[in-house]
Amino acid sequence: MKKMKKLFAVLLTLAMVLGMSMTSFAAETSYTSEIKVTGLSSQEDETVNLYAAITLNADKNEWVIAEWAKPYIRLNKDKKKYEITDEKKLSEVVSGTPIQQTHSAGQTEVTFDAVPVGAYVVTASGNKIAYAPMVAETYNADETYMQAKNVQLVAKSTGYIVDKSADDNFVARGQEVTFTITTTFPSFDVADSADNHFTIIDTPTGLDITDVTNITIGGAKTEDYTISEANDGKYTIDLTKAIGTSNANAGKTVVVTYKAIVTADDGYSNTANAYRNNADMGHGDEKGYTGNIVLTKYAENGKTVLEGAEFKLYKATKNEVKADGSTVSALKFIKLDDGVYKLALANEEGTTDTLVATNGTLTVKGLAEGTYWFEETKAPEGYSINVDGATATVTESTTANVNIPTSLKDTKLSALPSTGGIGTTIFTIAGCLIMIAAAGLFFASRKKTNK
């Protein structure tokens, strides 16, 4: 009996020690987790915030819900765990001082270490991209005892900055322009879904896209794309193959470079849209402009307009055109209307380098900046050609097409030829001289005979 009492005492003591140890272990347990946010834009510095919606009171072993979050969190049916009823609204009412992390341009993720166990609303903010709020629950609700877990979130943007730029915004018809589209690779809720798509669609006006020269993702050249052109001129760059199965490219900078020929005589406009699963995530616009010259042909009084003058136009000065050994050629044009011409494209049919003024004016369209010289090749009837020609300088504009006026005066011929031409006059004078000479000889011969 005494042995039993001693054994019971030992067991009781051991139980007390174990109980105290377990209490000690529980008190020393640190319920912390790691939250990693990926898929952030690499284009700029961004701030990521964690707002605590549910936290753990370890002393009382109970959850504490933030006041701002209470309308959107409730106990489940068995009253054993909390659940979030409306993540969207919960994200809209965040309050308090967040835990913050900032990532630099070139990075696409941040990691929060030793985060107290609970539930958090995660927001990200930058100047170029807007992100949808996220919710991270860092406890394993399915376990019997409290158990923290690490969480990885993929930031999902609600819109992208799609930047569109051109290497020249004041152009000539027929000029080749290089365009650059810069945007961000999106993230997908289910990265390996066969329904995922990522496309960039370019809609050019007054342009003919000729070649995509380079596409990079995160600075690395990629071949994971296809290109198609619709009948309406829209140009689609499909980057779906680059999505992969793990959102590995999410947040990385995408740069597309391509070339196009200006086909309009009044400039161009261009819009690039980025689509994630057919949802428009943002767009970028670019515009280009051209110059026009309007030449008016006057009489020497500077008021009377003259009809019927013809010209050639050079993108050069008179001295450059007339210099010894000059190879400057006259520009070629397409006639749009009487007295109105547009600069011709290379190999375009129906071109001419002879420009005819109508009603005293001549308009040439689709010119880039520079100095132009009009050479008069035919003057109006009764006037002499002005060998000086007319010079006009087109100056660059990045806001509108420009119209440059210039003029040229012709003078009347000093004397008009007699009817029949100058050759007839010469013969008439010669005939008269011959007749006078013959008459003189006749009278001289008669006088001699009388003697």
Contact predicate 245/300, CB 8 Å? no
pLDDT tens by residue, 169-190 = 999 999 999 999 999 999 888 8
pLDDT tens by residue, 384-403 = 999 999 999 999 998 999 99
Question: What are the E-state strand segments in 267-330?
Answer: 268-276, 279-288, 291-299, 310-314
Whether residue 191 is contained in a domain is answered as: yes
Whether residue 279 is contained in a domain is answered as: yes
Same structural domain for residues 317 and 213? no
How far is residue 429's CA from residue 435's CA, in Å, rounded to a whole number? 10
- The 3-state DSSP class for residue 68 equals helix
Same structural domain for residues 119 and 164? no
Q: Which of 142, 158, 174 is the last residue of a domain?
A: 158
Q: Which of 172-181, 253-262, 278-287, 290-299 has the lowest mean pLDDT?
A: 278-287
Same structural domain for residues 312 and 380? yes
Same structural domain for residues 62 and 154? yes
pLDDT tens by residue, 309-329 = 999 999 999 999 999 999 999
pLDDT band at 433 (very low <50, low <70, confident <90, very high): low
**Span between the terminal Cα atoms of the chain, in Å:** 205
Beta bridge partners of 362: 295
Same structural domain for residues 228 and 296? no
Query: Is the pLDDT reported for residue 198 higher than 80?
Result: yes
The mean pLDDT of 131-136, rounded to a whole number, is 87
| Predicted local distance difference test score (pLDDT) of residue 50 | 93
Task: With residue 431 as reference, give the H or E element that holds it.
Answer: helix 422-450
Q: Which of 242, 265, 287 is the last residue of a domain?
A: 287
Helices (H), 29-151: 87-92
The two three-digit tokens of residue 67, written as one number: 């006041």
Phi and psi at residue 429, to the nearest 5°: -60, -45
Mean pLDDT of all residues belonging to the chain: 85
Same structural domain for residues 282 and 324? no
Query: Is the pLDDT reported for residue 375 higher than 60?
Result: yes
Same structural domain for residues 127 and 153? yes
Whether residue 400 is contained in a domain is answered as: yes
Break the chain down into helix, strand, coil percent, rounded to 5. 15, 45, 40
| Predicted local distance difference test score (pLDDT) of residue 173 | 98
Whether residue 419 is contained in a domain is answered as: no
How far is residue 58's CA from residue 148's CA, in Å, rounded to a whole number? 13
Q: Which residue bears the tokens 């690779």? A: 185
The mean pLDDT of 49-77, rounded to a whole number, is 87
Whether residue 18 is contained in a domain is answered as: no
Same structural domain for residues 333 and 394? yes
Whichever domain contains 183, its CATH number is 2.60.40.740
Closest CA to 389 of 323, 319, 306, 290: 319
Query: Is the pLDDT reported for residue 343 higher than 70?
Result: yes
Whichever domain contains 149, its CATH number is 2.60.40
| Predicted local distance difference test score (pLDDT) of residue 350 | 96
Same structural domain for residues 194 and 137? no
Q: Which residue bears the tokens 């616009």? A: 285
More confident position, 143 or 330: 330
Residue 205 burial (CB count, 10 A): 13
Closest CA to 123 of 151, 155, 96, 160: 155
Query: Is the pLDDT reported for residue 71 higher than 70?
Result: yes
Whether residue 446 is contained in a domain is answered as: no
Same structural domain for residues 168 and 122? no
Same structural domain for residues 71 and 104? yes
Write down the pTM of the prediction. 0.71
Residues for the chain: how many in total? 451
Closest CA to 353 of 344, 362, 361: 344
Whether residue 266 is contained in a domain is answered as: yes
pLDDT tens by residue, 73-103 = 887 777 667 788 888 788 888 888 999 989 8
Same structural domain for residues 232 and 248? yes
Q: Which of 265, 287, 309 is the last residue of a domain?
A: 287
Range of the domain at 106: 29-158
Whichever domain contains 390, its CATH number is 2.60.40.10
Q: What total number of domains does the chain contain? A: 3
In order of 295, 300, 365, 412, 428, the CA distances from 361 in angstroms are: 6, 16, 13, 19, 43
How far is residue 27's CA from residue 286's CA, in Å, rounded to a whole number? 63
How far is residue 65's CA from residue 88's CA, in Å, rounded to a whole number? 17
Whether residue 248 is contained in a domain is answered as: yes
Closest CA to 437 of 449, 425, 429, 426: 429
Beta bridge partners of 200: 237, 274
In order of 49, 104, 136, 180, 214, the CA distances from 43 in angstroms are: 19, 9, 25, 15, 19
Query: Is the pLDDT reported for residue 21 higher than 70?
Result: no
